[in-house]
């Protein structure tokens, strides 16, 4: 059996009894960082051997792990914190397990994205965990584009050296939406900073961050057609695409919206 095991995102006491039992009973632990995982294993007297399994070696290491599973061994996969595969290694071995007909299960536990979502105070009914933004600006723009008009809450992971840059980028792309910046969750210095994208946040640039942003407001009843069009244009859409989206949002013909767009264009020129 292959076990995908969630581990604490900060406070080491936030681990399930089942996770401890599984880590003690398996034949091997595949860990993102064996030194980091050793802190958890030592705390709970877990003697199981751990081997490295991270983003740089998961493709080369997966063959040996699959062979062990075929031989009847039990393996647990853990990341440094939270649920493996959620912005962490794990997908490769799951893909291979499915391809080889090997059973696997999930041992529940912490996930930074879900913790931050609840702490944010924003809408939890529908959300998307998007993980880390790409490094290059053009890749970031392409990555965020499909989610600009999505009404669900957006959750981003952010490294300490990127958090201010990420907030500025999200303001540029998404506008002045409500936001919560969650830092060092479950730890002694856990903080949640709430406000609006574009605010000058006073952040302690230490630890791990999750940025939670409200989704696009899909209540268009208070907007005029022109204001609706301008909202999309302000988010970076060209006028032609804005017309299509406004027509779809309002369930009206594109030709009706296009008349307003022409008047806007004439005035702007």
Q: What is the 3-state secondary structure (H, E, C) of the chain?
A: CEEEECECCCCCCCCCHHHHHHHHHCCEEEECCHHHHHHHHHHCCCCCCEEECCCCCHHHHHHHHHHHHHCCCCEEEECCCECCCCCCCCHHHHHHHHHCCCCEEEECCCCHHHHHHHHHCCCCCCEEEEEECCCCHHHHHHHHHHHCCCCCEEEEEECCCCHHHHHHHHHHHHCCCEEEEEECCCCCCCEEEEEECCCCCCCCCCCCEEEEECCCCCCCCCCCHHHHHHHHHHCCCCHHHHHHHHHHHHCCCHHHHHHHHHHHHHHHC
Distance CA 26, CA 218 (A): 48
- Please give the residue that has the higher pLDDT: either 175 or 66: 66
Q: What is the mean pLDDT of the chain?
A: 92
pLDDT band of residue 222 (cuts 50, 70, 90) is low
Task: Output the six-digit token pair for 75.
Answer: 């393996």
Sequence-separated (6 or more) residues with CB below 8 Å from residue 177 = 196, 197, 213, 214
Burial group, residue 36, by CB count within 10 angstroms (0-12, 13-18, 19+): middle
- Please give the residue that has the higher pLDDT: either 222 or 229: 229
The model's pLDDT over 54-99, given as tens digits with 9 standing for 90+, comes to 999 999 999 999 999 999 999 999 999 999 999 999 999 999 999 9
Q: What is the pLDDT of residue 252?
A: 83
Q: What is the pLDDT of residue 220?
A: 64
Q: What is the pLDDT of residue 221?
A: 60
Does residue 29 surpass a pLDDT of 90? yes
Does residue 202 surpass a pLDDT of 80? yes
Q: What is the pLDDT of residue 64?
A: 97
The model's pLDDT over 40-56, given as tens digits with 9 standing for 90+, comes to 999 999 999 999 999 99
Enter the pTM of the model: 0.78
């Amino acid at each position: 059996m292959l076990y995908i095991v969630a581990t604490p995102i900060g406070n080491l006491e936030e681990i399930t009894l089942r996770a401890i039992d599984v880590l003690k009973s398996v034949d091997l632990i595949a860990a993102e960082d064996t030194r980091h995982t050793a802190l958890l294993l030592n705390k709970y007297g877990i003697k199981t051997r751990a081997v490295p399994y991270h983003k740089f070696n998961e493709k080369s290491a997966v063959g040996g792990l699959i062979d062990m599973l075929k031989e009847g061994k039990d393996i647990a996969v853990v990341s440094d914190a939270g649920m493996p595969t959620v912005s962490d290694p794990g997908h490769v071995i799951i893909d291979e397990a499915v391809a080889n007909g090997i059973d696997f299960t999930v041992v529940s536990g912490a996930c930074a994205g879900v913790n931050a979502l609840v702490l944010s105070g924003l809408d939890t009914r529908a959300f998307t965990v998007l993980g880390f933004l790409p490094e290059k600006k053009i890749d970031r723009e392409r990555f965020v584009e499909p989610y600009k008009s999505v009404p669900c809450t957006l959750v981003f992971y952010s490294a300490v050296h990127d958090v201010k840059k990420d907030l500025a980028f999200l303001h540029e792309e998404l506008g002045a939406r409500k936001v919560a910046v969650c830092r060092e969750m479950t730890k002694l210095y856990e903080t949640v900073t709430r406000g609006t994208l574009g605010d000058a946040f006073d952040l302690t640039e230490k630890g791990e961050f999750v940025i939670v942003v409200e989704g696009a407001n899909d209540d268009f009843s208070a907007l005029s057609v022109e204001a609706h069009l301008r909202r999309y244009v302000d988010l970076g859409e060209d006028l032609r695409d804005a017309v299509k989206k406004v027509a779809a949002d309002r369930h009206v013909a594109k030709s009706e919206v296009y008349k307003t767009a022409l008047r806007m264009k004439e005035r702007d020129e």
